Amino acid sequence: MLAPTLCHDPRVGDGRDARYGRSEPAPGAARRSRLAAARLYLIVEAEPGGRPATELVEPALAGGVDVIQLREKERSDAVIVDAALSIRELCASYGALAILNDRPELALESDCDGVHLGQGDASVDEARAVLGGDALIGVSTHTADQVAAARASSADYIGVGPVHATPTKPDAQPVGTALVRHAALHAAKPFFAIGGIDVGNVGAVVAAGAEGVAVVRAIRDAADPRAATEALRAAVAGGARTGAAL
């Protein structure tokens, strides 16, 4: 798997050379370092609202998104790969991570930083066999038992939710902040709370123990995606300060 181009990002103390020279960390180490520092994760379709994904991704990255996941269930493999390549290129220029949902083989083809798996998708071991040890693998969890299974696996991070009801997952039962609190105590690896999170409720989610949050509509549907991202990132930081004071 080819290494992604990583350029200087003001959110990261030292920029990484695109060539990963001898003095640079291995791609897997660089990716995991960025993952550990990530706080804001955006999930997009190939054409959100009928526009190219890059028209949403670029202002979101400029506003402070750390991870972009392309989640596309309806389009052809060619469309998914084309969108993933464009997203990966933009993410690389901002020092962010590019993740593809569900499809390890397409993540490899598009040189994404990793793949995100749902409970009904390929297993972590199957994805790892395709992508190798340098790739990031995330797993969605909805129960304490699933959090425990993800912790025991070689997954690099966990999605926890849905915290609130959300039209992007209409059949999913909301877990509230209880599972967030459980994950904060037991996940033992980076996790992102997800599901109906916006600038108005993110403070409570972060105060429950989430260091990172994943969103769709809070940025995708905003009139000004960059401003919405900046506001959400500030709210995440504010929630973290509030939680620390409790």
Of 16, 88, 128, 169, catalytic: 169
Concerning whether 73 is annotated as a catalytic residue, the answer is no
Identified catalytic residue from 11, 71, 181, 217 = 71
- Two tokens, residue 106: 């397409």
The encoded tokens of residue 101 equal: 């949902």
Is the Cβ–Cβ distance between 46 and 79 less than 8 Å?
yes
Known catalytic membership, residue 71: yes
The CA–CA distances, whole Å, from 42 to 123, 125, 132, 178, 195 equal 23, 25, 24, 23, 12
Q: Which helix (H) or strand (E) holds 97?
A: strand 97-101
**3-class DSSP state of 188:** coil
Question: Distance (Å, rounded) from C-alpha 24 to C-alpha 241?
Answer: 33
- Whether 33 sits among the annotated catalytic residues: the reply is no
Which of 39, 128, 140, 233 is catalytic? The answer is: 140
Report the SS3 class of residue 19: coil
Cα gap 159→193, rounded to integer Å: 6
Amino acid at 177: T
The answer to whether the CB of 191 falls within 8 A of the CB of 159 is yes
Q: Would you name the residues annotated as active-site residues? A: 71, 140, 169
